Structure 1
């Protein structure tokens, strides 16, 4: 991200943690500098300057904010080390990595020693990895207690606790109430045996129908299916296969919290937290649609599209490896053609599963499986088959990691080093798998068609759309399905 002051200020207004580490905000009137997500009152635009590093802000005479601690890494001249690592670690903790692999496993994934990672997290968030994982378990437990009829022992293990006693003690300490008090009369019956139904919070406006249309339009047979108002797919989870069905509808009241009803079918209840986190990624549930809409709505090209479909989300993905393979298959072919090829790939190399949901029959093939497949046997041009094999090998042996804990810049570099993978593929993966909010694909044929239909410059300068270029991209794609007379 270049240091366009207007784009930086918009990121500060949104307090979006995804921009922590990209730049620092220095406030002339207070003499302090902060990171973009600082919870303090947003200063006026005329009172701020932006710096690429903590060292730059310090050299200009500013001192570090005591609330957001932008200088959390002792001796480091760049906040992006601490900020990026902390954010990556938090996303992995939300996925349950500490519960499954311990602090050592978490530290290994982000490339630090456990001791140094703990120091970074304490400085950044005021708590170490164990305390953060405990808070995540408590939150998952509360949601399960209040929205399902699961027994408390099942809730305890589904939330990641090692024992019912630990579960009871933690709930009492965190919420000053027993599990029974929290449930009260709110525990509802699960609609089907073996299913766990939860409500996933999203900020409004939320364009649920547009998100459903995108997911349904890219669905791969056997792995995904959809119907009127709902979407479902299989999940390859740490302890076994699962599936999720999401009920998607529009919720357009600005500034409210809406809920997406999600029904999970899990082989092992210990995967509840991971399944919920992956469903939230799919929904782009952490998006601030008001901040996005306020900026993009001012643009002469995008403004009518934003007003027509407020709260449009960037569809995420539940599995970065799967998305990368799907993206390479889809290079230079239509979405329908790519889905057809991918359906054949799933039926031949995917893992059959029983989900209880009609149409969901397989898990997407794992990278380790595709790495062993002869590229000549894949239903695609030989060069693309070799690209799939090379990508799968890199994913399988750990040279490339596409979970939410990965460093985006490093991922892009590693992807571009693989044969058959170019900037369009790497950036599309960054947008959907890694949650990058500021991706633009100027060479995409859909973008060019959309701009042509709108009578806009076919080669626009998207700087005015920063730091929300991913959302601008989604609006342009979505416009292809709209009647322009309605704008």
Structure 2
């Protein structure tokens, strides 16, 4: 029996359908975010870890990004929620640009400015993203904004106008029109169907950030506890531990708290409501600080070739490389 690893999967459009389907049938967490599955019989696309019954191979199309799946006419699954998938982190220009877009770099629609920031012309930027993701920069940004808005609708009680602006839309009317046009339902229908009781009674904004297991949370908390900036950061030791800090992004000021949900393979992020307007860049910083987009299977495949490192990996599975919320703090 062949054993696939995430490194066997090429970038779009070079995904191997047979390998993708094996990962889908096994609901292999190593491939979460590496590809998405569009099911032709339902018109819905899912993460490879979706708990629904595995569709027939003949009904499946595979995409390297959520944006490519939506550009092909598929709607996101309401059960596995593609917006929760960890990013398919790769060291190339296309993914570096994609990470900027995911943090809101195109919320103002200025593709020319983004191109200058990454040292490309607007035509080169468009060609790079089309080659790797199958969509234009604007299409990629629009999918990210819609999925982020869907995340806020399902996980918070933010008013609709705040959801629209936090997701980078210039007006509620445009947000409603794009959401309904893409997903076939009004934003309010998502919230009525899926808002949880916990979110209804919590004054803070509580969001979830997924990762590929294993995740060495205890080791990260231990690392951060020895490096806290007094008056800015703190580490709580009760339970599984938690990381807390004050935040200032632009004119927005507040606090955040990060804790671990091991049974869900997610981190829970609590944020002060005052930070609602900067949630897109804030989540990008938290993902980077906790190295949530690392792929442990790929890392282990390389490092276990060294006997000393192999023993360390076995003793400390899921070890990540923590970063800093702000580069100035390094």
Q: Please classify the TM superposition score into its range, dividing by the shorter chain length.
A: 0.5 to 0.7
Secondary structure at 2:115's aligned position in 1? Answer: helix
Secondary structure at 1:260's aligned position in 2? Answer: strand
Secondary structure at 1:221's aligned position in 2? Answer: coil
| Residue 216 in structure 1 maps to residue 225 in structure 2 | yes
Alignment gaps of 5+ in structure 1: 1-11, 18-33, 43-66, 69-82, 252-256, 324-487
In 2, are the aligned partners of 1:201 and 1:259 still within 8 Å (CA)? yes
Aligned length: 253
In 2, are the aligned partners of 1:283 and 1:313 still within 8 Å (CA)? yes
Measure, in 2, the Cα distance between the counterparts of 1:303 and 1:321.
33
Measure, in 1, the Cα distance between the counterparts of 2:11 and 2:208.
32
Report how far residue 268 of structure 1 moved. 4.9
What's the counterpart of residue 15 of structure 2?
Answer: 39
Secondary structure at 2:209's aligned position in 1? Answer: strand
Measure, in 1, the Cα distance between the counterparts of 2:111 and 2:5.
34
Report how far residue 239 of structure 1 moved. 4.5
| Within-5 A mapping of 1:71-82 | none
What's the counterpart of residue 237 of structure 1?
Answer: 249
| Residue 14 in structure 1 maps to residue 22 in structure 2 | no
CA distance 1:249–1:302, shift in 2 (3 Å): farther
Spell out, residue by residue over 1:4-60, the C-alpha distance to the aligned partner (whole angstroms, 9 max, x if none).
xxxxxxxx943499xxxxxxxxxxxxxxxx669942267xxxxxxxxxxxxxxxxxx
What's the counterpart of residue 300 of structure 1?
Answer: 307
In 2, are the aligned partners of 1:158 and 1:272 still within 8 Å (CA)? yes
| Within-5 A mapping of 1:116-127 | 116-127=124-135
Q: 1:109 aligns with which of 87, 106, 117?
A: 117
What's the counterpart of residue 179 of structure 1?
Answer: 187
Secondary structure at 2:111's aligned position in 1? Answer: helix
In 2, are the aligned partners of 1:241 and 1:266 still within 8 Å (CA)? no
Report how far residue 106 of structure 1 moved. 0.9
What's the counterpart of residue 150 of structure 1?
Answer: 158
CA distance 1:36–1:300, shift in 2 (3 Å): farther
CA distance 1:16–1:314, shift in 2 (3 Å): farther
Give the root-mean-square deviation of aligned CA atoms. 3.0
What's the counterpart of residue 202 of structure 1?
Answer: 211
What's the counterpart of residue 128 of structure 1?
Answer: 136
What's the counterpart of residue 316 of structure 1?
Answer: 323
In 1, are the aligned partners of 2:260 and 2:266 still within 8 Å (CA)? no
Report how far residue 275 of structure 1 moved. 0.8
Report how far residue 164 of structure 1 moved. 1.1
Secondary structure at 1:116's aligned position in 2? Answer: helix
In 2, are the aligned partners of 1:245 and 1:263 still within 8 Å (CA)? yes
Secondary structure at 2:266's aligned position in 1? Answer: strand
CA distance 1:36–1:102, shift in 2 (3 Å): closer
What's the counterpart of residue 297 of structure 2?
Answer: 290
What's the counterpart of residue 47 of structure 1?
Answer: none
What's the counterpart of residue 258 of structure 2?
Answer: 246
| Within-5 A mapping of 1:84-483 | 84-100=92-108, 102-188=110-196, 189=199, 192-193=202-203, 195-228=204-237, 229-248=241-260, 250=262, 258-265=265-272, 267-297=274-304, 299-323=306-330
Measure, in 1, the Cα distance between the counterparts of 2:108 and 2:323.
24
What's the counterpart of residue 54 of structure 2?
Answer: none
Task: State the structure with more CA Rg.
Answer: 1
Measure, in 2, the Cα distance between the counterparts of 1:144 and 1:273.
11
In 2, are the aligned partners of 1:266 and 1:272 still within 8 Å (CA)? no
TM-score, normalising length from structure 2?
A: 0.68
CA distance 1:104–1:268, shift in 2 (3 Å): farther
Report how far residue 294 of structure 1 moved. 4.5
In 2, are the aligned partners of 1:203 and 1:258 still within 8 Å (CA)? yes
In 1, are the aligned partners of 2:12 and 2:134 still within 8 Å (CA)? no
Spell out, residue by residue over 1:146-188, the C-alpha distance to the aligned partner (whole angstroms, 9 max, x if none).
1111122211111111111222122223333222222234324
In 2, are the aligned partners of 1:205 and 1:289 still within 8 Å (CA)? yes
In 2, are the aligned partners of 1:239 and 1:267 still within 8 Å (CA)? no
TM-score, normalising length from structure 1?
A: 0.47
Secondary structure at 1:96's aligned position in 2? Answer: coil
In 2, are the aligned partners of 1:148 and 1:187 still within 8 Å (CA)? yes
